[in-house]
Structure 1
């Protein structure tokens, strides 16, 4: 019995070590974005860090929103700020023209929280039970999107809007639902999409043509 209990506690301890990210082993590990010599779950640390590795003004100015969706996401993640490597945080700025939409998407590696800089937007997320949680938020207010759940933001107002988004991941990843299904490479077979969405082949081809990457 004693041996069984000892083994049980060892297994529990081992499980506890793999269900969350490990603690940092040094103060900083600035990402060496140019190194492809070693593949790790993250980035290799570069030898010489500077203050510039921890700085960016990329979110300081609004992005141009003259695109088909009327919205632009500007990411401030480890790919833009190498000093974020191993720190488990990142941010984005999202700018919306009147009527602009950040379409339904997911972040597979992070929970997101948005803070409205100005304007007013409609936000929402859908649970795995297909329940929609939605709200209109305005300047100074916040809203949270749980990790991995499909969510969206839309500016239904007549003036521009912007939010700052924060993530508990250095690189949250983004999967836009429409682009993931209709603009994948190689493409998702039409017979999968026609059956899943209960539409005809012409409709699928039309959507694919509109979402195809611009050459």
Structure 2
């Protein structure tokens, strides 16, 4: 099979996996989502590396993603700083991270996802974050991550991937998002840690 055909085949498989896994997590009941969110918090609290972080980037759940609200509220209670991703207004495909509090003005971005209204005073340079809680669609037994396809987090995490420089990434997911093997591309950034309600995977 020619390289172009190989890539087309991988892309087709990745597209199918995205559809299947997104559908699986969307079918979780409200009770299952609530339990998963609290179990995720417990996993986070059990890791000294994570629980001691002071500047933590997270995301607001969308499209069946595991809910981060209990984790966010716990971090606030501990006096820690939480940041949310914002689509970069001048650099397509990149993210900014803004300080997030209970009173942060919000709006909906072009993907239908809630994010803080852009305020340069609230921007935290990525390299000053301690931890980036990373959303994902699927992950495999080696820590490979399949995102939504925009490459935002692959670009954000590339310095860490190449040089182990910058905030430590940790994937956050439901247990049903695990697959045996993901077809990968050169730009994919594997994760060293993934938390699910029932496991802390570490590579």
Give the alignment's TM-score, normalised by structure 2.
Answer: 0.29
Tell me which structure has the larger Cα radius of gyration. 1
Pick 1 or 2: higher relative contact order, CA cutoff 8 A, min separation 6: 2
Give the alignment's TM-score, normalised by structure 1.
Answer: 0.28
- Higher normalized helix content (fraction of residues): 2
